[in-house]
Structure 1
Amino acid sequence: MANGSDAEYLAYVHGRTTGLRRTAYLLSGDEHHADDLVQETITKLYVRWSRISGVENLDAYVHTMLVRIFLDEKRRGWWKVRLGVPPDRPAPVQAGGDVEERALLRAALSQVPPRQQAVLVLRFLCDQPVADVARVLSCSEGTVKSQTAHGLTALRRILGDRIHSLGGTR
């Protein structure tokens, strides 16, 4: 890369890594997997940097890359290889909410189909509007709405009676 674009890339990545990691963690539910998703995203970004650094909404472009990498990974079958299992570490403590509730919700969310999971995370945990989620997932707003409804129904089915303890309704 010429003309200082390496420096621009590094500045961009350093400024966005925390936000990317947060979204990746919300999607995957695992800090190591989140790190892998972010690493793959910023690696692909580096390869394309000279062509896309001038994109009008670069943040949205990179966010879309991250979500698509997550979804592509979910589509991979048995052939996906993990080279090692890192030692167990306690999950990071986050402010607000009960740890057991978060664990229960995370476990239920991981059982929802990948696209529905992505829609729920983007809509409710990342607080993105329907139009933005539709753009990220390359689908219509109606599809986002139906995937949201189906995903919430699946969560209610998975959680069953425990949903009342999370403050929801049936």
Structure 2
Amino acid sequence: MEQSNTLKQAFSEGVYYPKLIDTILDSNTVSLREVETVIRNLEIYFYLQDGTNFDFDHKIIVITTILLHCLKPSLLQDLLNWRADAHELARFIKGGTDIKKFFPIDDITYVPTYEDLDLMVFYILLSLCRVNIKNYDEDTIDVAPEKTLREQCIESFMTPNKRFGMRGNLIDLLRKDMEKILTII
């Protein structure tokens, strides 16, 4: 990534993007060819879309969608069809299904921030899962009884979409955004 001017420009305002990419690549057994494919697809997307004009949340969705497309296309299709397994998503993002591995501290009231982008991305994409969700989004990890951790992540991460006038359910918007990204790459 350091040699790509397109990605340097697209990721210039934050260290979060390369950190997310590194975390997901480290969590999966990938070959050099797969890494090159991910980088190439990121370059193509951001070059064709003039990547510096996107807001933070859109870039994160682009990165995650491209990583899924290149490394786990079956998981991507399951997410888009609302039949994904949360365990498989956990293994893809963090390399395991143990919920404690996701939290940087032992505080059950912890709410992810942009510093823990991989955890936030997991909880946003968890909304597109239909299998094993209970293991990640109920009971002891709820911060407030009325909102689950997944709902809090979606609300804090994707709220800017509301400001830009996008209409509809945020989960449907996420799916549509991911499908649109795939048409470009």
TM range (shorter): 0.3 to 0.5
Greater length-normalized contact order (CA 8 Å, ≥ 6 residues apart): 2
State the TM-score, normalizing by the size of structure 1. 0.39
State the TM-score, normalizing by the size of structure 2. 0.37
Larger Rg: 1
